[in-house]
A and B are shown apart, each in its own frame.
Chain A
Amino acid sequence: EIVLTQSPGTLSLSPGERATLSCRASQIINSNYLAWFQQKPGQAPRLLIYGASSRATGIPDRFNGSGSGTDFTLTISRLEPEDFAVYYCQQCDTSPRTFGPGTKVDLK
């Protein structure tokens, strides 16, 4: 099973600031198979990024994914009020699929 580790656990920032979230895998992942989700309280997760760097339909261009091998990054260039949420990375390279534990981006 591929274990995903996310850091930091919590990121306290202000609107307009840049957020950098990390996802590290316990073994090399094909970049095509790494996704990022956003989840707000009481809601299902929403797909932001797939294939490590492709934005899903309707996702603003302030969200950018990058990385390869075992290290992946989600960057939110300028935080908007609606971006304060929990972010999960997930791999579809092998089964069982696995998610990282999440990074909470909260208001400083």
Chain B
Amino acid sequence: QVQLQESGPGLVKPSQTLSLTCTVSGGSISSGGYYWSWIRQHPGKGLEWIGFIYYTGSTYHNPSLKSRATISVDTSKNQFSLRLNSVTAADTAVYYCAREIFGSLPRIDYWGQGTLVTVSS
């Protein structure tokens, strides 16, 4: 059973950088066949896709974040990470990491439990 767990500070000051890590257990990031994703949800709102990374390091980031987001992978630790710079209160959200199967029937099949990040001074 694959499990994903987000970790990182729950409070970040405005203009600073939000950093989160997702630790994957029950499967190897390096096994291929999956995109490792970050998705966020503003309080009481819908889901916003941030981007994903393949184990080789190939990434796609949502242009809506105006190049503030960077997703990286550390296969030796079976982790992938999100950095979001120049944060504002509008970045306050629950951040989820997730696994997307790619292929003929792509889908997000596993999610972390989510971690609330608040941007406030």
**Residues of A bordering B, CB below 8 Å:** 32-33, 35, 37, 43-47, 50-51, 54, 56, 88, 90, 92, 95-102
Q: Is the CB of A44 within 8 A of B114?
A: yes
- Asked if B62 is at the interface of the complex by the 8 Å CB criterion, the answer is yes
| The residue from B64, B108, B112 contacting A47, defined by CB atoms under 8 A apart | B108
Given A45-B47, A88-B46, A96-B62, A32-B112 contact (CB < 8 Å): no
Q: Is the CB of A96 within 8 A of B108?
A: no
Which B residues from 37 to 74 make CB contacts under 8 A with A?
37, 46-49, 51-52, 60, 62-64
**Number of cross-chain contacts by CB at 8 Å:** 58
Q: Is the CB of A32 within 8 A of B49?
A: no
Q: Is the CB of A35 within 8 A of B63?
A: no
How many residues of chain B have a CB within 8 Å of chain A?
24
Contacts of B112 in A (CB 8 A): 44
Which residue of chain A has its CB nearest to the CB of B112? A44
Q: Is the CB of B105 within 8 A of A96?
A: no
Rounded to whole angstroms, the CA-CA distance of A100 and B49 in the bound complex is 11
Q: Is the CB of B111 within 8 A of A45?
A: yes
| The residue from A43, A50, A56, A96 contacting B64, defined by CB atoms under 8 A apart | A96
What are 29 pairs between A and B in contact, CB < 8 Å?
A: A32-B104, A32-B105, A33-B106, A35-B108, A43-B113, A44-B111, A44-B112, A44-B113, A44-B114, A45-B47, A45-B96, A50-B105, A50-B106, A51-B107, A54-B105, A56-B107, A88-B46, A90-B47, A92-B108, A96-B60, A96-B63, A96-B64, A97-B49, A97-B100, A98-B49, A99-B46, A100-B46, A101-B46, A102-B47
